[in-house]
Amino acid sequence: MINELLNQHKYSIIIVLTLLLSILVILVYSLTGRSVPDTDNPETSYAEGEPIEYDIETIPSPTPDESTIGDTGYMEDTYTTAESRQIDQINDLREKSPIDVIDFVVDYNYETFQFDVIVYEPYEESEAAFRSWRSQRYPDIPEETFVFLRQ
């Protein structure tokens, strides 16, 4: 029975649904405030190939006026050459650690911000080997940055 009714009024149902859908689309566009661009006015034209004309004098400068910028908190680094070398060497050694050599191991301790140097027996010889190694490779890192641990 329902199939017979649908078959008899198939075209009427399609027309009614199309009208309802059209009304719904018109309502949605009218409620959202969208409008079709005016192609006669160059300032609102969106047609492909048509440039938008602007008055150059009314476009703000891309460079801000320095008097309007407050303190940003930025402070330029003012390290001496020796300080820069020291920082570079600390960062280099920290990135390479742990370094395992026959007489000692160097590892960075993130809790103390120092390098732990684990030395093996005989301790004095291992510490001397480390000091020689450090003076050749990382001479600008201060001695107090290294903590000796005997194992």
150 beta partners: 119
Reading the chain (151 residues) residue by residue, the pLDDT tens digits are: 666 756 777 777 788 778 888 888 888 877 776 555 555 555 554 556 667 776 676 666 666 666 666 667 777 778 888 899 999 999 999 999 899 988 999 999 999 999 999 999 899 999 999 999 999 999 999 999 999 998 8
pTM confidence score: 0.48
- 34 closest CA partner among 46, 26, 43, 42: 26
Contact by Cβ (8 Å): 127, 148: yes
95 beta partners: none
- 40 closest CA partner among 25, 55, 50, 29: 50
Residues with Cβ < 8 Å from 139, sequence gap 6 or more? 89
Instruction: Name the residue ranges covered by the structural domains of the chain.
Output: 2-32, 83-150
The answer to whether the Cα torsion of 81, 82, 87, 92 is positive or negative is positive
